[in-house]
Structure 1
Amino acid sequence: MWPTPNPKSSSWALGLFALATSVLSSPIEIRAAGAPWLAINSDFPDPGFVQGADGVWYAFGTNGNGKTIQVARSEDFVSWTLLNKEVLPTLAGWETSVDHWAPDVIRRNDGRYVLYYSGEAQSMVRHHCVGVAISESTDPSGPYIPNPNPLSCRLDQGGSIDPSGFLDKDGSRYVVFKVDGNSIGNGGDCNNGVAPLKPTPILLQKVDADGFTPLGDAVQILDRDDSDGPLVEAPNLILHGDTYFLFYSTHCFTDAKYDVRWATAKSITGPYVKTGAQLVKTGDFNLTSPGGGTVCGCGDRMLFHGFCGSERCTYAADLSIQGTNVRFV
């Protein structure tokens, strides 16, 4: 079998990515009402973020710019500075030194921070596990020390990627992540465009107060269907009012159809109902393949990536949630 392409690699994207030049012309340059803005003008894909105890924001990105995990800082969520700091200077024994994707960070009750990320498994290269690392101090930017064991692998199903932490109203903690079924697909679009298509379910794992000890088994809360193309990925869960919003991306990240959508539920475990609406898509605000979004638990701001040339820059947006409708403001 031909080798599975790295589905998060910018170099692979450059080789395959072919969109209209009118869309690729330039990233957003001027912030306008109701429009997202260019927050990090550098290769900074799959952004997750957390607010420190002092109110400062920290964003974390997939490997790039010579770092295993990247970090940026902002006082106001508008202007961001990419820090010359390695968030994850040491690795666990189960992972290789390449492909650290889609980091997310939460602040625990004890003031320490927990970093979730996707790392390549030594036992099955090109496939990934969800790793966990704990901050050495109460500095959100790290460094972080990895736990010896991953939170989830599921390598027989393709692996586990795209973790995101969630704190429920009763104080319970969860991690949502994607089972990377397309990594063992039959080829085609994102390696999952040839029938029979593999499932790429989103799972919800309850964890203890430490942020990483599993409590019970993970439960499936979403999966792809024909409207999603080869996959769903990049899950991010928030609670707004009495409704759970699960944000996610569909299609391949190199595809013009890549986007951000959401599903809603009245219970943490679902059922989640897809709205079918696209929060942001190619062509909106001159963006190309926007996705990998993370929404603040407060529901009023968001980071996501989009192509800026052959790289993926990070964009920020203000949000409004009314009922089950979400829009940029």
Structure 2
Amino acid sequence: MRRLLAMAAAAGLAVAAAAGPAQEVASVLTGADPDMEAGEDRYWIYPTGGGGLFAWSSVDMKHWERGPRLLSLAAIPWVGDDGAAVHHLWAPDMVAANGSHYLYYSIGPQHPTPSRIGVARCDTLQGPCTDSGKPLVNDGGHGFEAIDPAVFVDSKSGTPYLYAGGSAGATLRVWALRPDMVSIDHEVKVATPRHFTEGAFLFERNGTYYLSYSSGRYDNATYSVHYATAPSPTGPWRYAGRLLASDGKYKGPGHHAFLHDPRDGRWYIAYHRWEGQSGNGPYKGGRVVAIQPVSFGTDGSILPIRMTN
């Protein structure tokens, strides 16, 4: 999400529901915009919130611990180059490549200066991380907001792709990265899929590429998760429907990541939502990160996810 809110102090409990029997999975922490990874015999969550970017880890996906700070604004030397008085750091995405790890993130504000995307190299999934020394995307131009980065390395071609953009401009852009993971090779022209607002994420399953994203306004009941499919990492996109939407209890689910668990072979989604809110918004307070399993239809479609506790 491009907007940062004060984070509440308590986490809730989520029961995962998809097609078939429900499986109990704990809410993780207060925060937003989670990325989720598996490695080093643990699960990892990278959220927005807490005065910087942190790695939370768990051995069972139920009990979570916060590790050292991965990155802070003070550790990014180019943050002040835009002359803005205040900056924000959000929407991390951790990616494994080259025997190392790379942490992508958003730097704001969007106004009066453009938002930017940065990248840091990390020794392990829990850091330490060192900024590359320059922004990866410095200015989208023409009203484009350089926010919410997500990187996907295509196993077929070996090409790493950066997906970013959204909010007021509601435009998706994609770049092919160089093998060093910290510089851009070229932009790939893509169409913006239906109902796209921000928070893109891409994964591949059985030869199909799934592009999922947030739609609506982050602080009201319109916020939701949709997806499209394609035969390649860059489209053409075929809109496939809505996966998560507000209900009577949980509001504004969005900005998410998918994980294919190497332990049990299942797929999971980590996302944030508003809890303890009523009406259509705008909502106040903090958001909670929740994890639920994901099921697929025989045709490869992602089955809608019902939020429960």
Could you tell me which residue of structure 1 aligns to residue 254 of structure 2? 291
Report the aligned-residue RMSD: 2.8
Structure 1 gaps, min length 5: 1-5, 15-25, 183-198
| Cα distance in 2, alignment partners of residues 223 and 92 from structure 1 | 35
Could you tell me which residue of structure 2 aligns to residue 205 of structure 1? 175
Could you tell me which residue of structure 2 aligns to residue 100 of structure 1? 89
Counterparts in 2 of 1:220 and 1:179: CA distance versus 1, 3 Å: farther
Contact 1:200 1:223 in 2 (8 A): no
Shift of 1:283: 1.1
Structure 2 gaps, min length 5: 277-284
Secondary structure of 1:157's counterpart equals coil
1:10 aligned residue (5, 17, 41): 5
1:232 aligned residue (191, 194, 197): 197
Contact 1:246 1:263 in 2 (8 A): yes
2:151 aligned residue (147, 158, 165): 165
Could you tell me which residue of structure 1 aligns to residue 101 of structure 2? 113
| Cα distance in 1, alignment partners of residues 221 and 120 from structure 2 | 34
2:275 aligned residue (298, 308, 311): 308
2:129 aligned residue (115, 139, 144): 144
1:46 aligned residue (24, 33, 36): 33
| Cα distance in 1, alignment partners of residues 26 and 227 from structure 2 | 22
Could you tell me which residue of structure 2 aligns to residue 189 of structure 1? none
Could you tell me which residue of structure 2 aligns to residue 280 of structure 1? 244
Counterparts in 2 of 1:125 and 1:68: CA distance versus 1, 3 Å: farther
So what's the TM-score if we normalise by structure 2?
A: 0.80
Contact 1:221 1:271 in 2 (8 A): yes
Counterparts in 2 of 1:237 and 1:154: CA distance versus 1, 3 Å: same
Shift of 1:262: 0.5
Contact 2:16 2:292 in 1 (8 A): no
Greater helix percent: which structure?
Answer: 1
Could you tell me which residue of structure 2 aligns to residue 18 of structure 1? none
1:242 aligned residue (207, 210, 218): 207
So what's the TM-score if we normalise by structure 1?
A: 0.76
How many aligned positions are there? 279
Shift of 1:165: 1.2
Worse-superposed segment, 303-312 or 244-253: 303-312
| Cα distance in 2, alignment partners of residues 31 and 200 from structure 1 | 30
Contact 1:157 1:179 in 2 (8 A): no
| Cα distance in 2, alignment partners of residues 118 and 283 from structure 1 | 29
Counterparts in 2 of 1:237 and 1:205: CA distance versus 1, 3 Å: same
| Cα distance in 2, alignment partners of residues 56 and 130 from structure 1 | 27
| Cα distance in 2, alignment partners of residues 255 and 121 from structure 1 | 21
Shift of 1:155: 4.3
User: Percent identity over the alignment?
Assistant: 22
Shift of 1:74: 1.4
| Cα distance in 2, alignment partners of residues 36 and 292 from structure 1 | 21
Report matched runs for 1:169-188 at 5 Å. Answer: 169-170=155-156, 171-180=158-167, 182=168
| Cα distance in 2, alignment partners of residues 28 and 261 from structure 1 | 24
Contact 1:27 1:287 in 2 (8 A): no
Counterparts in 2 of 1:262 and 1:295: CA distance versus 1, 3 Å: same
Contact 1:239 1:297 in 2 (8 A): no
Greater strand percent: which structure?
Answer: 2
Counterparts in 2 of 1:39 and 1:81: CA distance versus 1, 3 Å: farther
